[in-house]
Every structure is written in structure tokens, then in C-alpha cells.
Amino acid sequence: MGRSADYSKQKCALAGALDIVGEPWTLLILRDSFRGITRFEQWQESLGLARNVLASRLKSLVRDGVLETRVYCERPRRHEYVLTQKGYDLRPALLHLMDWGIKHVYGEESPDAELIHSCGHRVAPQTHCAHCSGELLPYDITLRRIPEARAVGELRLVAEAL
């Protein structure tokens, strides 16, 4: 499978997410999806990635239901890759990682890139609870764990058997 880390014994939703999108390059492939890239050659140009690595990542993302293929030319038959709802739902996580990169890697003082909201200001994402609208602060959240939860590797076996 070309996976570079074995999270299969972890019983954890974050590990489950990383098992699908934690592979090197995968989140950058999805970043490009959100920017409107849908075709193999466009990713190649954007990422400068070896064809076999790119093909393998796209195949995994389709298998895991994050991207889906769509035929855009019948003769010769060609397809492109578009985000599913599952893929689309990764957007807040990517937004926050990008915001962190702008703030802490590129530096807030001399921004090399900025996310601009339609209100005209730099995006400063804040995370709220959709139920009570309160800001989500660290000690306001508890993780309710279920002891008999399945491990990531078991989930993967179930998914592959479908």
C-alpha cells in the first residue's frame, strides 16, 4: 500500500484520518483540488512529483472515497479527479494548517501569502461549536472514548472487504 507509517493498532479518529490523508504529498494534492485542479498533468506541473507517486496517491484517494473520477473525454477516454463530500469536508483542517503555516512558518510580520476573507480582512479562523456557538477552547472539550473501539487496521480491513 506504500503507507509510510503503521497506525493500524491505534484506536483514534485522528490516526484514522492520517491513515487516509497523512501520506506525504496527499494534503498538497488536496490543496490543489480545492484550487480547482482536476487533471493528472496539472498536478504534475504544480507539485513536480514523480508520475508513479502521483498516480499511487490519486488511486488511494479514489479508493478511500476522498476523490472520484469523472470522464471528460470519450475518445480517447480520459478522466479527471474531483472532490467528493468526504474530500470537501477536509477543508477546515487544511485551512487551519495553512493559517498555522502563514503565522508560524512564513511569519506573521512579513507574510509571503495571505488568506483574505470576503469581508476584506486577512482570515483569522476561529473555531466554534455549531450547537451553542461558543468558541471551542481547549479545556471545554472532552473525548468520550469507547473502550471496545475498533483499531484503524480493523477499519481498513472492513473497508477493503466491502
**Distance of closest approach, residue 82 Cβ to its own copies, in angstroms:** 14
**Distance of closest approach, residue 6 Cβ to its own copies, in angstroms:** 9
State how far the Cα of 21 lies from the Cα of 26, in Å rounded to an integer: 6
Binding mask 41-80 for its own copies (x = CB under 8 A): ------xx----------------x---------------
**Distance of closest approach, residue 43 Cβ to its own copies, in angstroms:** 13
**Distance of closest approach, residue 88 Cβ to its own copies, in angstroms:** 8
Candidate residues 24, 72, 78, 157; the one interacting with its own copies per rule CB under 8 A: 24
**Distance of closest approach, residue 29 Cβ to its own copies, in angstroms:** 11
Task: Give the three cell numbers for residue 8.
Answer: 493500524
- The verdict on 22 binding its own copies (CB under 8 A) reads yes
The pair phi, psi for residue 147, each rounded to 5°, is -55, -35
| Burial class of 77 by CB neighbour count within 10 A (0 to 12, 13 to 18, 19+) | exposed
Size of the site for its own copies (CB under 8 A): 82
CA 14 to chain centre: 12
User: Residue 70: beta bridge partners?
Assistant: 80
Return the sign of the alpha-carbon dihedral for residues 64, 129, 92, 21. negative
List the interface residues with its own copies, window 75-134 (CB under 8 A): 86, 88-106, 111-119, 121-132, 134
Closest CB to its own copies among 78 and 111?
111
Closest CB to its own copies among 73 and 142?
142
Closest CA relative to residue 54, chosen from 22, 90, 25: 25
Candidate residues 2, 11, 56, 76; the one interacting with its own copies per rule CB under 8 A: 11
Closest CA relative to residue 95, chosen from 61, 127, 137, 125: 125
